[in-house]
């Protein structure tokens, strides 16, 4: 989009919204069309980020709620920044999240092609129509010349384009061509206020003169977003444009261009606009593509499931009800209305996102939980294969037994390996992690000696959860007088090497008597060295 001029900034500053009185006719949000047509049109310029996905989600939810149509196209006219890798990642992200579309990329439809890089002839034709009708004109001014004219007129040099080329004669244009200059094409902005009723923000007005004549085609012939985006929306009959607040400054340009396109018969109607709030990151700064919490695939790598992540992203500007943050996508579709989205910036809170993800993990069927966990377990070297069916019988047996112990306790699928690794391992000594060592108090040696003596005498057929619980509680708590934390802490560390693990006695049953006894003995053997460190 480029850097906004001072004039444009002034226009945005003077753009007014007043949502304090919902009955004020200036703030009434417009009714939606009978047949809603929305679009998702990202640029393939990097790894998919949460702001992009939130835009896709809200468009998808609006289309599904209204029984409308979602068109998915790609805006890839920036050859220097666009990449096929990013294009494929966007497709991968949408497929993973289950956000589907009705027309567009890989689906087809009546308005193909759906990649802007394949629609160049269309843009050339429309640009020529705009020139022929007098809605656009050739502009030969360089940025340096524009800045010099601004300074000469007593304006800041960054003030923006001054309309100089509007009145060039054919002789002046030819003189520039004789110098070897090639013109850009600019749209003529009218000398009047531009207002529209935003679906989210209510009435917004831009003062006359706040938006200068803008470029739609570069001197080298490349069309800009300012042309391609509205033209595609017009030709694809998009009647509801839902996009980020960062594009609000381009809306008066698009409204004016739409008026011209309607006059030319290219567009049938003016779409409704809704500008979704910024997603803020740490320190109340706008979340950048470069911020780690913005990276969609990083969240997936950590173990977010699609249900949890989509649920949280839906809360970035919208809520299903005042007292309910946990909902399914089916429930969202039933309730969603873009006019209920709040205009205030939404802050991405990774802790809340993780907590919501944990709720959705707990709602999974146990086998579904295991199926989704296996790729993470394989990635972390805990199991032998990346799919449930390819695991060994022993791995499936242990994981099936562990699922009810682990599923309620993990927040992310990436945490499952740390919880089940000790159950799957046949190692007879698990070196304690740093925070686990703090559980080994001065009484740890006595506790381990008593536990070893007691458990060695327990017949293997009685090596069951309830028996282990009763036996160790009686020996260590009731007769030994140890508090449960001091009694069971060293045993937990011996079994898992971790401070946090699945329930102790269930874990011991899964691990079995031989390995459990060996781990207790080996921790006891290393205890002096651990405590001395």
**Three-state secondary-structure class, residue 2:** coil
Domains (range + CATH), the chain = 364-417 (1.10.8), 436-532 (1.10.10.350)
Find tokens 């009484």 and name the residue: 443
| Contact call for residues 313 and 53 (beta carbons, < 8 A) | yes
| Contact call for residues 316 and 348 (beta carbons, < 8 A) | yes
Write the DSSP assignment of 286-355 as a string of letters. BPPTTSGGGBHHHHHHHT--HHHHHHHHHTTT--SBTTB----HHHHHHH--GGGS-SS-EE--HHHHHH
Rounded CA-CA distance 163/209 in Å is 11
**Three-state secondary-structure class, residue 149:** helix
Q: How many CB atoms lie within 10 A of CB 165?
A: 21
Ranges of the chain with pLDDT below 70:
1-28
Question: Could you tell me which of 451, 509, 516 has the C-alpha nearest to residue 482?
Answer: 451
* Res 532: pLDDT: 87
Containing 425, the helix (H) or strand (E) segment is none
74-94 pLDDT tens trace: 999 887 888 999 999 999 999
Angstrom CA distances, 474 to 468, 478, 483, 484, 488, stand at 10, 5, 12, 11, 12
| Contact call for residues 476 and 450 (beta carbons, < 8 A) | yes
Active site residues: 289
**Three-state secondary-structure class, residue 218:** coil
Question: Could you tell me which of 328, 420, 329 has the C-alpha nearest to residue 370?
Answer: 420
Question: Could you tell me which of 198, 197, 200, 199 has the C-alpha nearest to residue 344?
Answer: 200
Q: Which two tokens stand for residue 467?
A: 């028996």
Rounded CA-CA distance 498/480 in Å is 24
Is position 289 annotated in a ligand binding site?
yes
pTM, rounded to two decimals: 0.90
């Amino acid at each position: 989009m480029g850097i906004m001029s001072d004039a444009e900034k002034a226009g945005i500053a003077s753009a007014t919204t007043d949502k304090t009185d919902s009955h004020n006719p200036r703030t009434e949000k417009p009714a939606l069309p009978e047949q809603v047509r929305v679009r998702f049109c990202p640029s393939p310029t990097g790894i998919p980020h949460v702001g992009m996905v939130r835009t896709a989600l809200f468009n998808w939810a609006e289309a599904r709620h209204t029984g409308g149509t979602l068109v998915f196209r790609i805006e890839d006219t920036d050859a220097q920044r666009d990449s096929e890798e990013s294009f494929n990642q966007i497709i991968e992200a949408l497929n993973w999240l289950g956000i589907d579309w009705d027309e567009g990329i890989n689906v087809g439809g009546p308005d193909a092609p759906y990649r802007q890089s394949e629609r160049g002839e269309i843009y050339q034709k429309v640009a020529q129509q705009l020139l022929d009708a007098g809605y656009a004109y050739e502009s030969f001014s360089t940025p340096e010349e524009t800045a010099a004219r601004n300074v000469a007129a007593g304006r800041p040099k960054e003030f923006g384009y001054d309309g100089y080329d509007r009145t060039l004669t054919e002789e002046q244009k030819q003189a520039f061509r004789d110098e070897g200059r090639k013109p850009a094409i600019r749209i003529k902005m009218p000398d009047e206020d531009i207002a529209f009723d935003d679906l989210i923000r209510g009435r917004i007005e831009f003062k006359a003169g706040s938006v200068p004549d803008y470029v739609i085609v570069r001197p080298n012939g490349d069309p800009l977003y300012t042309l391609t985006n509205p033209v595609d929306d017009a030709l694809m009959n998009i009647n509801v444009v839902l996009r980020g607040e960062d594009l609000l400054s381009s809306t008066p340009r698009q409204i004016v261009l739409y008026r011209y396109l309607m006059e030319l018969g290219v567009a049938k109607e003016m779409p409704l606009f809704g500008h979704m709030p910024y997603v803020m990151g740490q320190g109340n700064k706008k979340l950048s593509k470069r911020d780690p919490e913005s990276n969609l695939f990083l969240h997936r790598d950590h173990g977010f499931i699609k249900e949890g992540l989509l649920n949280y992203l839906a809360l970035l500007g919208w809520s299903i009800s005042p007292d309910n943050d946990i909902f399914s996508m089916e429930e969202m579709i039933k309730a969603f209305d873009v006019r209920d989205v709040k205009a205030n910036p939404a802050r991405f809170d990774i802790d809340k996102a993780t907590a919501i993800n944990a709720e959705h993990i707990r709602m999974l069927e146990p086998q579904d939980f295991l199926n989704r966990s296996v790729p993470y377990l394989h990635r972390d070297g805990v199991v032998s294969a990346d799919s449930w069916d390819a695991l060994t019988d022993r791995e499936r047996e242990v994981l099936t037994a562990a699922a009810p112990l682990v599923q309620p306790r993990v927040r992310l699928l990436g945490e499952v390996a740390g919880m089940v690794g000790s159950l799957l391992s046949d190692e007879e000594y698990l070196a304690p992690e740093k925070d686990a060592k703090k559980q080994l108090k001065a009484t740890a040696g006595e506790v381990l000696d008593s536990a070893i003596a007691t458990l060695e005498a327990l017949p293997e057929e009685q090596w069951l959860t309830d028996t282990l619980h009763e036996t160790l509680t009686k020996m260590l708590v009731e007769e030994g007088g140890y508090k449960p934390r001091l009694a069971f802490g060293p045993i937990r560390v011996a079994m898992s090497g971790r401070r946090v693990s699945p329930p102790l006695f269930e874990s011991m049953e899964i691990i079995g008597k031989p390995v459990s006894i060996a781990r207790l003995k080996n921790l006891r053997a290393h205890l002096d060295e651990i405590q001395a460190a």
